[in-house]
């Protein structure tokens, strides 16, 4: 069964109504960040007050499956050794001198519950962001445990709560929940379904992605993580391949692309081979290595006639820029799914 892209659906109110719930969820991303930050403020302040005068931990261990986001933010900043441990256990050396932090947005993951129970058993200081009364919260109960309550199940909002705590105890960079929420709100406005595709960057990107295999790249650590999440959203939306990775992994894909023939009829075989598209997530990093890698990718794309699209952001903090890029990609994926129809 052939699939084609009907861009008229992106401005069709009846078609948009079918994904209204999903679009509303995307639009409420900023509100979820604000709600979690507000609800956890008292617990965060209490935890920080208890830590006054305490010495820094020997190491910080981010446990659980959501630990990689914390690693992307904290590794360049944390003044003590930091390790992400996504499995249902802890490193053998972890103990009472260490701080174990965990994001558990849903609070129902048995592996996370097992890891946090092990941290409590070993006498480590434990800080968990999760719903009160959840499975993880029950296993985290202990003398040296701090529970930062969350309710929305949103990974990013839960991470902002934890990062705010870590910033205030001088173990990470400023997260600024309001800045993150504002960046998300700005994306929701610019990518709103009520904005015509001519002035809607997410709808325009969806059109560009429609007949391609996206190759998604972000240069900084957080932009690279956003690239992986955007590629995941595109795969889920389209059922097609979409890859993200480091420059050296993506360059062979671009260099192997068939040279575009200007005489090819683009309508001759709409179900034929899809060409790659390079999607760059630009968070404003001025690192020379990032600039060099981006230049190599764009040069390879140009040499093979591969289209290049760029997502940008002007948000103030690293976490806000990550959030902005990821949400732009998710909006584009939603519109891509809407426009793809089978005949």
Give the DSSP letter string of 30-97. Answer: HHHHHHHHHHHHHHHHHHHHHHTTPPPPS-EEEESTTHHHHHHHHTTT-SS-EEEE-SSS--TT--TT
Residues 6 or more apart in contact with residue 261 via CB below 8 angstroms: none
Handedness of CA 157, 159, 165, 169 (dihedral sign): negative
Ranges of CATH 3.40.50.10490 domains, the chain:
3-28+180-342, 57-170
pLDDT at site 263? 57
What is the per-residue pLDDT for 271?
A: 45
- d(CA 7, CA 61) in angstroms, rounded, equals 47
Closest CA to 215 of 199, 228, 205, 201: 228
User: What is the CATH topology of the domain spanning 57-170?
Assistant: Rossmann fold (3.40.50)
pLDDT means per 10 residues, the chain with 343 residues, are 86 95 98 96 90 86 91 91 91 95 95 95 96 96 94 96 94 92 98 95 97 96 96 95 96 90 55 84 94 97 96 94 98 97 79
Contact status, residue 177 vs residue 314, Cβ threshold 8 Å: no
Give the other-Cβ count within 10 Å of 208's Cβ: 16
CB 184: neighbour CB atoms within 10 A? 27
Angle at the Cα of 81 (from 143 to 58), degrees rounded to 5?
40
Indicate whether this model's pTM tops 0.85. yes
Sign of CA dihedral 16, 21, 23, 27: positive
3-28+180-342: in CATH 3.40.1260.10: no
State the pLDDT at residue 277. 97
Give the pLDDT score at 279.
98
Q: Position of tokens 């690192």?
A: 287
């Amino acid at each position: 069964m052939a699939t084609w892209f009907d861009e008229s659906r992106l401005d069709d109110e009846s078609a948009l109504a079918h994904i209204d719930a999903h679009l509303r969820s995307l639009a409420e991303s900023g509100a979820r960040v604000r709600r979690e930050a507000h609800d956890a403020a008292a617990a965060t302040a209490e935890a920080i007050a208890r830590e006054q005068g305490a010495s820094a931990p020997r190491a910080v261990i981010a446990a659980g499956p959501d630990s990689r986001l914390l690693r992307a933010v904290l590794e360049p900043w944390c003044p003590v050794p930091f390790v992400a441990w996504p499995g249902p256990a802890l490193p053998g050396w972890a103990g009472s001198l260490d701080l174990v932090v965990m994001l558990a947005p849903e609070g129902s993951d048995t592996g996370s519950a097992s890891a946090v129970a092990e941290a409590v058993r070993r006498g480590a200081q434990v800080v968990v962001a999760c719903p009160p009364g959840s499975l993880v919260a029950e296993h985290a109960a202990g003398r040296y445990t701090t529970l930062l309550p969350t309710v929305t199940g949103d990974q990013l909002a839960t991470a902002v709560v934890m990062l705010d705590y870590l910033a205030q105890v001088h173990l990470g960079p400023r997260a600024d929940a309001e800045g993150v929420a504002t960046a998300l709100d700005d994306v929701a406005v610019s990518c709103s379904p009520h904005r015509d595709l001519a002035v809607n960057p997410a709808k325009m990107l969806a059109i560009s992605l429609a007949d391609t295999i996206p190759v998604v790249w972000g240069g900084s650590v957080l932009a690279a993580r956003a690239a992986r999440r955007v590629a995941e959203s595109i795969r889920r939306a389209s059922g097609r391949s979409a890859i993200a990775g480091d420059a050296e992994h993506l360059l062979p894909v671009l260099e192997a692309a068939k040279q575009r023939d200007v005489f090819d009829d683009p309508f001759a075989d709409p179900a034929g081979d899809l060409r790659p598209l390079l999607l760059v997530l630009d968070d404003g990093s001025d690192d020379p290595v990032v600039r060099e890698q981006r230049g190599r990718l764009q040069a390879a794309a140009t040499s093979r006639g591969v289209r290049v699209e760029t997502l940008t952001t002007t948000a103030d903090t690293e976490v806000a820029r990550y959030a902005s890029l990821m949400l732009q990609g998710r909006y584009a994926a939603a519109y891509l799914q809407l426009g793809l129809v089978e005949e």
